[in-house]
């Protein structure tokens, strides 16, 4: 169950070995020890989850996974199930990241199945949504993102919404060094929020909505000050302990 606090989630993507993970977290944890009032999590590759879980034990930093399969067990070579992740101490799981949609054939249908698999195992799915630059230029960004949100949460019970996170990641801002303006961010977060509450009513207010897309120490304070932003999904900057610690310790005047 989430409590509505901002969530700072670092997505390491396909970086680091288990030994590198242990060393990195040994550097990171002292840097964020005094950070309060927000949830912090890191999402290493599958091969590093066990090492990360051991390094994070007893700390305030949670463990996340970068993906999950939609069945709990079976003849699915190479797949990792939600119960497997839960047993490793994973709390959050990223689903529908734009890179998986692009490179691994992820669809809105499989995202919905993965959301339900995560919820069955008491994991918190972090549902990624976002538009290509062509959709934004043509004025279809709101429509595209609304559709992704609705299809991802299609079978979600209102009582489960407190365990759902949505991460808005404009695809044109991922790994490009380009960050959406505060107005862009606030506008799309308002669209996401209004769509969830239109469908689910009051319980929809429990969903945390994050921003992801070239989040850095230089941009974090402005991003977190944008109306409706309840945290960030961090890519490249989460691979540098000092940068990620600064992001986790964001300041909003």
Q: Each residue of 197-219: pLDDT tens digit?
A: 999 999 999 999 999 988 999 99
pTM of the model as a whole: 0.96
pLDDT at site 123:
98
pLDDT at site 3:
64
Low-confidence ranges of the chain (pLDDT < 70): 1-3
CA distance 236 to 10: 8
pLDDT at site 144:
96
Cα Rg of the chain, angstroms: 17
Q: Is 103 part of the annotated catalytic residue set?
A: no
Domains plus CATH for the chain? 7-246 (3.20.20.70)
pLDDT at site 190:
97
Pick the catalytic residue from 97, 99, 131, 189: 97
Q: Is 169 part of the annotated catalytic residue set?
A: yes
Pick the catalytic residue from 106, 131, 169, 195: 169
pLDDT at site 1:
43
């Amino acid at each position: 169950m989430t409590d509505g606090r901002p969530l700072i989630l670092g997505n390491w993507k396909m970086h680091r070995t288990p030994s590198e993970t242990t060393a990195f977290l040994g550097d990171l944890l002292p840097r964020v020890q005094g950070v309060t009032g927000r949830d912090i999590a890191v999402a290493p590759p599958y091969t590093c989850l066990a090492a990360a879980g051991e390094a994070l034990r007893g700390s305030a930093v949670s463990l996340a996974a970068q993906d999950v399969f939609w069945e709990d067990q079976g003849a699915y070579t190479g797949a990792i199930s939600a119960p497997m992740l839960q047993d490793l101490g994973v709390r959050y799981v990223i689903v529908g990241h734009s890179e998986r949609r692009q490179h691994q054939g992820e669809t809105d249908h499989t995202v919905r199945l993965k959301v339900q698999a995560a919820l069955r195992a008491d994991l918190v799915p972090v549902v990624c949504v976002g538009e290509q630059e062509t959709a934004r230029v043509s004025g279809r960004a709101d429509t595209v993102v609304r559709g992704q949100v609705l299809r991802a949460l299609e079978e979600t019970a209102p009582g489960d919404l407190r365990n759902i996170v949505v991460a808005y990641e404009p695809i044109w801002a991922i790994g490009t060094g380009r960050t959406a303006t505060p107005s862009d961010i606030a506008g799309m977060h308002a669209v996401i929020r209004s769509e969830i509450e239109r469908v689910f009513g009051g319980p929809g207010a429990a969903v945390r909505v994050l921003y992801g897309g070239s989040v850095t120490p230089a941009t974090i304070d402005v991003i977190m000050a944008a109306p409706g932003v309840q945290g960030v999904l961090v890519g490249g900057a989460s691979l540098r302990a000092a940068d990620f610690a600064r992001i986790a310790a964001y300041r909003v005047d």
